[in-house]
Amino acid sequence: MRPDPAPSLDPAGEYLTRVWRDSVYPLAEQLGMTMRLPPIQPRSRRAHEAAKWAQTRDQFDAYNEALFRAFFERGEDISEIDVLRKLARDLGLDDSSLRSALESKQFEPSVIADEREAADLGVHAVPAFVFNRRFALTGVQPLAALEQMVNRSR
């Protein structure tokens, strides 16, 4: 979620440590999810390109879940082509086709358009919730805030 030129965050820095301690870990525990603060904060554009490629193979949801597990459970560098290819292989997809798509930047224009749209909608952090393409909430939010935005967007 940090496309160039936005600076990467330090995984050991105060901001990420505090957000994970105060928001992410409690919510993950409440939901019974395994989440670990990744040891790296890679650029995500290539992972988004890989997800778009997977979508053309009707595997967007499965690939997206694999991306999240790789990053948030295992701390893998999802900006690396070899990591993305392994995720594709593990799903039974043709990883050489993914490599070609990533090396040719086939899906980069579409991802850049998504990044611009997200910025226009006010998305600057994850998770992000967009309502009627008019309102956005970013970061971990309490249920009351989400309900208020749903009602406001009607």
Q: What is the predicted pLDDT for the residue at 36?
A: 92
- Give Cα separations from 69 to 8, 17, 49, 57, 127 (angstroms): 20, 20, 17, 20, 15
Q: What is the predicted pLDDT for the residue at 14?
A: 94
- Residue 5 confidence (pLDDT) above 80: no
Residues 106 and 153 in one domain: no
Which band of pLDDT confidence, cut at 50, 70 and 90, is reported for residue 136? confident
Q: pTM value?
A: 0.86
Domain of residue 131 covers 122-154
Residues 129 and 67 in one domain: no
Residues 27 and 88 in one domain: yes
**Can you tell me the mean pLDDT for 102-115?**
96
For the stretch 87-107, pLDDT in tens is 999 999 999 999 999 999 999
